């Protein structure tokens, strides 16, 4: 799992709690990007009343979109998102539209939205785009460039984790995962605290899964789950159990993951890099079909 600097993560949760996701632009596909301080709101002459109205409108839209999503009415989700965006270009709603398009199998239109939302100057988000495009050759070349950026000996845990993660997003994205495994192991070993460690354990578990070490992947991901249960673990637990022909366990984790994806759509219970979860859901469903 990608990790951001702690200071950035803390700022995100503070602002999320205070502003209540009110302008819809603080979160893009669950990705921490830029933060709007109160001084910036003032400089843009946004009144408190306008903020309240926008917050209420976005909250109303989220509730309606979530209701439709839980009934699998993705075409109606798209239509409602279009109506909301016609009133105001709310980036949060744009991410909901992108996911709804993806889940209704309109991948070309969904990709157009992700192309707008993801930042191409960010190396991990560029890896995400290659994965969303299904461009294995470009993803692999980019992954090799990421690995060349970091030294196993000199990398910080954060650098080791994130460069490894950038090679793991796409199934069969790399020819060899040994370097990703080594980097993820380093991150886990040098984690400062449990908050970092569970993130790095997820990356290591996914790397081990990609390397075909299914039981080790399960053991690692379950260690992460013991610290903090997170949806990024669940599709890989499902797939690893499935690969070991443990169908009951695989079904348990896959159903848990699908239920969470549906219930958390368009809510404040966001996951970082939710578009990656969509890719993992596709991979899991294809394997277990």
Number of domains, the chain = 2
Q: If we measure between CA atoms, which residue out of 245, 248, 251, 249 comes closest to residue 285?
A: 251
Tokens of 69: 């999503």
Tokens of 220: 């690692």
In a domain, 125, yes or no: no
Q: Are residue 138 and residue 239 in the same domain, yes or no?
A: yes
Q: Residue 286 CB: number of other CB atoms within 10 A?
A: 10
Q: In 3-state terms, what secondary structure has residue 23?
A: coil
In a domain, 111, yes or no: yes
Please check whether residue 226 is in contact with residue 255, taking contact to mean a CB–CB distance below 8 angstroms: no
Q: If we measure between CA atoms, which residue out of 221, 205, 215, 206 comes closest to residue 241?
A: 215
Evaluate if residue 233 carries a pLDDT over 50.
Answer: yes
The domain in which residue 14 lies consists of: 6-117
Q: Where residue 222 sits, what CATH number does that domain have?
A: 1.25.40.10
When comparing pLDDT for 275 and 36, which is higher?
275
C-alpha 182/C-alpha 24 separation (Å) is: 38
How far is C-alpha 268 from the chain's CA centre?
14
In a domain, 224, yes or no: yes
Q: Are residue 109 and residue 216 in the same domain, yes or no?
A: no
Per-residue 3-state assignment (H helix, E strand, C coil) for 11-75: HHHHHHHHHCCCCCCCEECCEECCCCCHHHHHHCCCCHHHHHHHHHHHHHHHHHHHHHHHCCCHH
In a domain, 124, yes or no: no
Q: Are residue 84 and residue 16 in the same domain, yes or no?
A: yes
- In this prediction the pTM is 0.85
Specify the residue for token string 């989700």: 77
Q: If we measure between CA atoms, which residue out of 91, 92, 105, 28 comes closest to residue 62?
A: 92
The predicted-structure confidence for 167-224, as pLDDT tens digits, reads as follows 999 999 999 999 999 999 999 999 999 999 999 999 999 999 999 999 999 999 999 9
Q: Are residue 141 and residue 65 in the same domain, yes or no?
A: no
Evaluate if residue 30 carries a pLDDT over 80.
Answer: no
The predicted-structure confidence for 90-130, as pLDDT tens digits, reads as follows 889 999 999 999 999 999 999 999 999 999 999 999 999 99
Radius of gyration of the chain (CA): 19
In a domain, 178, yes or no: yes
Q: Are residue 134 and residue 267 in the same domain, yes or no?
A: yes
Please check whether residue 144 is in contact with residue 179, taking contact to mean a CB–CB distance below 8 angstroms: no
Q: In 3-state terms, what secondary structure has residue 118?
A: coil
Domain end call among 117, 142, 160:
117
């Amino acid at each position: 799992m990608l990790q951001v600097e702690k200071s950035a993560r803390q700022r995100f949760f503070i602002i999320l709690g205070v502003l209540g996701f009110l302008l819809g632009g603080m979160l893009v596909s669950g990705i921490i990007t830029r933060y709007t301080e109160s001084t910036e709101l003032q400089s843009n002459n946004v009144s408190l009343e306008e903020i309240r109205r926008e917050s209420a409108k976005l909250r109303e839209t989220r509730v309606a979109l979530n209701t439709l999503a839980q009934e699998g009415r993705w075409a109606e989700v798209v239509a409602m998102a279009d109506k909301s965006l016609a009133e105001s270009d709310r980036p949060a709603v744009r991410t909901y539209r992108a996911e709804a398009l993806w889940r209704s199998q309109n991948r070309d239109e969904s990709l157009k939205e992700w192309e707008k939302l993801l930042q191409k100057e960010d190396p991990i988000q560029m890896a995400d785009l290659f994965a969303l495009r299904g461009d294995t050759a470009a993803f692999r070349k980019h992954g090799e460039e990421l690995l060349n950026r970091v030294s196993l000996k000199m990398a910080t845990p954060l650098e080791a984790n994130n460069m490894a993660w950038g090679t793991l997003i796409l199934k069969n994205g790399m020819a060899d995962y040994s370097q990703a495994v080594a980097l993820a192991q380093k991150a886990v070993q040098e984690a400062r605290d449990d908050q970092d460690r569970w993130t790095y354990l997820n990356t290591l578990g996914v790397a081990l899964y990609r390397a075909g070490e299914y039981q080790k992947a399960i053991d690692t991901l379950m260690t992460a789950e013991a610290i903090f249960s997170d949806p990024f673990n669940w599709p890989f637990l499902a797939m690893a159990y499935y690969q070991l022909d443990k169908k009951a366990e695989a079904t348990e984790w896959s159903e848990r993951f699908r239920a969470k994806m549906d219930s958390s759509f368009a809510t404040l219970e966001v996951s970082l890099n939710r578009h990656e979860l969509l890719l993992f859901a596709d991979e899991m469903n294809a394997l277990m079909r």
